[in-house]
Amino acid sequence: MNTLAEENYLKCIYHLAIDAGVVSTNQIAASLNTRASSVTDMLKKLADKALINYTRYQGVSLTDAGEKIAIGIIRKHRLWEYFLVEKLNFKWDQVHEMAEEMEHISSEELIDRLDEFMGHPKHDPHGDPIPDCNGNFKSVELKPVSALAINQCGVISGVRDHSSPFLQYLEKQQLTIGKKVTITDIIEYDHSVALKTETDKEIYISREVANNLLISL
Amino acid sequence: MNTLAEENYLKCIYHLAIDAGVVSTNQIAASLNTRASSVTDMLKKLADKALINYTRYQGVSLTDAGEKIAIGIIRKHRLWEYFLVEKLNFKWDQVHEMAEEMEHISSEELIDRLDEFMGHPKHDPHGDPIPDCNGNFKSVELKPVSALAINQCGVISGVRDHSSPFLQYLEKQQLTIGKKVTITDIIEYDHSVALKTETDKEIYISREVANNLLISL
DNA sequence: TTCATATTTTAGATAAGTCTAAATTTTTTA
DNA sequence: TAAAAAATTTAGACTTATCTAAAATATGAA
């Protein structure tokens, strides 16, 4: 088994690698709120365990073994988030911290039974896909609202920012997962966007919000 | 917040103090599978935090603050055990190790909602009482089968040994929580006991089993 | 009540994970 | 392309929790 710190590094590298491929020491340090020197120490350890590909000064990527562990942790995180929202009635902006702890509960059988108990959900409360017990999941291609054109419509299916303030704001605006929206206007000046909901309500969102709100077409 | 090690020491001291009042360094070391010198180090730290009463060579007891934390951990442990058995269909001999990890999930609100989700259960799968959110619980006076006389009857309500082999044995003999039994014979020679179940089945158990099986009269 | 034994504590080390400060390597820019 | 800047690594230190071995204290038996 791996330590809590090791698991957090693997998960972090996995997330950063989605955009970048190879991940830098400083990226990891920024993401984990730690120092680059601490990261270097840990990278050596993970490389010794054959969980990452690492050559000095060249950044890192996960090995197959490392990716498997990372996906396992993400599976646990998302299943526990689903549990907290669907069974214990937490809001989607309240569950991240708790799931950060719960994702390290080691038993595989526990998580598989939890998955079954909840009916094998495919997405967590933020729209992120939940890997199955073999680590497989298909990630639908989502686009930020900011990448759409006037009159395009789609379904809110994910967020790029998982922070409470952002999620609370979306909730207040009723811009939650599953809602269908149509782009009605794009303001050239500040790149803010006007949306129309199914109930014909019009909502203005800033460029920043439009960047962090993901749509499936 | 306290570290995982600190929480485990507090819980351990709480359990040992139930019989003894004051707990010795060696008792703790034996219970936690560690060395007496390690225990001494930790006792100093817990005393600095005012969680235990400690004077060198004199053993320890929990302060009110320490006891409150210990009971909180035990509440979490037992609620998670209940969840694992009642919701995820684990057997009573499978849940201890998992609950040992889950009891350290920090959120109080999570555990209170879990409690509510399950309908505020009063006892865990091994018959141990579950403290409420204020740390209150009433422990019924239970007697080991070995303390009963011929013809006495009662209901199986707890165990002293929580190990898998013991619990599996009881399960196989159908000596599980809630079953009513009557003492039909006590063998002088080896202190083994003959029991009759509600279905009039006769079961012989050894002195050791009789010592670890608890009855409410 | 004194001495042998058991218990407990202290002293000094170790491993994991972190830090700061300094050194090294890579990248950028002029 | 050489110097400056940025990124990364190394060196050495700190904390937590553990260990072994030795010293101190308590207990109990003669």
Say if A117 is an interface residue toward chain B (CB within 8 Å): yes
pLDDT in tens, A152-163: 999 999 999 999
Say if B87 is an interface residue toward chain A (CB within 8 Å): yes
Do residues B137 and B72 touch, judged by C-beta distance below 8 A? no
Name chain B contacts of A110, Cβ cutoff 8 Å: 84, 88, 98
Integer distance in angstroms from CA B43 to C1' C10?
A: 14
Strand C contact at CB of residue B3, distance < 7 A: no
pLDDT in tens, A68-106: 999 999 999 999 999 999 999 999 999 999 999 999 999
Say if A100 is an interface residue toward chain B (CB within 8 Å): no
B97, closest residue in chain A (CA to CA): A107
Best mutation site among A101, A106, A114, A117 for testing chain B: the one with the most B CBs within 10 Å?
Answer: A101
- Phi, psi at residue A67, to the nearest 5°? -65, -40
Strand C contact at CB of residue B26, distance < 7 A: yes
Say if B4 is an interface residue toward chain A (CB within 8 Å): no
Chain mean position to CA A35: 23
What is the pLDDT at residue B182?
97
Segment B60-85 mean pLDDT: 98
What is the pLDDT at residue B215?
97
What is the pLDDT at residue A21?
84
Say if A185 is an interface residue toward chain B (CB within 8 Å): no
Say if B114 is an interface residue toward chain A (CB within 8 Å): yes
Best mutation site among B94, B97, B100, B101 for testing chain A: the one with the most A CBs within 10 Å?
Answer: B101
B44-51: long-range contacts, CB 8 A cutoff, minimum separation 24: B45/B6, B46/B6, B46/B9, B46/B10, B49/B2, B49/B6, B51/B2, B51/B6, B51/B10
Topology of domain A143-216, CATH: SH3 type barrels. (2.30.30)
- Phi, psi at residue B183, to the nearest 5°? -75, 125
What is the pLDDT at residue B11?
98
What is the pLDDT at residue A19?
79
pLDDT confidence bin for A1, thresholds 50/70/90: confident
Say if B50 is an interface residue toward chain A (CB within 8 Å): no
Distance, first Cα to last Cα, chain A: 41
- The rounded percent of chain B whose pLDDT value lies above 90 is 95
What is the pLDDT at residue A105?
98
* Cβ pair B98:A113 closer than 8 A: no
* Cβ pair B105:A101 closer than 8 A: yes
CB nearest A88 (choices: B105, B106, B113):
B113
pLDDT confidence bin for B89, thresholds 50/70/90: very high
Matching CATH topology for A4-62 and A72-139? Answer: yes
Segment B126-148 mean pLDDT: 95
- The rounded percent of chain A whose pLDDT value lies above 70 is 100
Segment B133-159 mean pLDDT: 95
Best mutation site among B103, B105, B111 for testing chain A: the one with the most A CBs within 10 Å?
Answer: B105
User: Closest residue by Cα to the C1' atom of nucleotide D6?
Assistant: A26
Segment B135-163 mean pLDDT: 95
What is the pLDDT at residue B20?
75
The pair of structure tokens assigned to A52 is: 């990452």
- Alpha carbon of B116: minimum distance to chain A alpha carbons (Å): 9
pLDDT confidence bin for A211, thresholds 50/70/90: very high
Chain mean position to CA B134: 19
Segment B99-116 mean pLDDT: 98
What is the pLDDT at residue A22?
94
- Alpha carbon of A176: minimum distance to chain B alpha carbons (Å): 23
Strand C contact at CB of residue B31, distance < 7 A: no
What is the pLDDT at residue A148?
96
User: Closest residue by Cα to the C1' atom of nucleotide D8?
Assistant: A57
CATH number of the domain located at residue range(s) A4-62 in this protein: 1.10.10.10
Topology of domain A72-139, CATH: Arc Repressor Mutant, subunit A (1.10.10)
Residue spans of the domains in chain A: they are 4-62, 72-139, 143-216
Strand C contact at CB of residue B23, distance < 7 A: no
pLDDT confidence bin for B33, thresholds 50/70/90: very high
pLDDT in tens, A34-67: 999 999 999 999 999 999 999 999 999 999 999 9
pLDDT confidence bin for B147, thresholds 50/70/90: very high
- The rounded percent of chain B whose pLDDT value lies above 70 is 100
Give the side-chain half-sphere CA count within 13 A for A197: 15
pLDDT in tens, B204-217: 999 999 999 999 98
What is the pLDDT at residue A120?
98
DSSP H or E run through A204: strand A202-205
Q: Whose C1' is closest to the CA of B38: which nucleotide? A: D18
What are the residues facing B183 on neighbouring strands? B195
pLDDT confidence bin for A20, thresholds 50/70/90: confident
Say if B91 is an interface residue toward chain A (CB within 8 Å): no
- The rounded percent of chain A whose pLDDT value lies above 90 is 96
Name chain B contacts of A114, Cβ cutoff 8 Å: 88
pLDDT, mean over chain A: 96
Quote the CA–CA distance of A67 and A51 in Å, as a whole number. 8
pLDDT, mean over chain B: 96
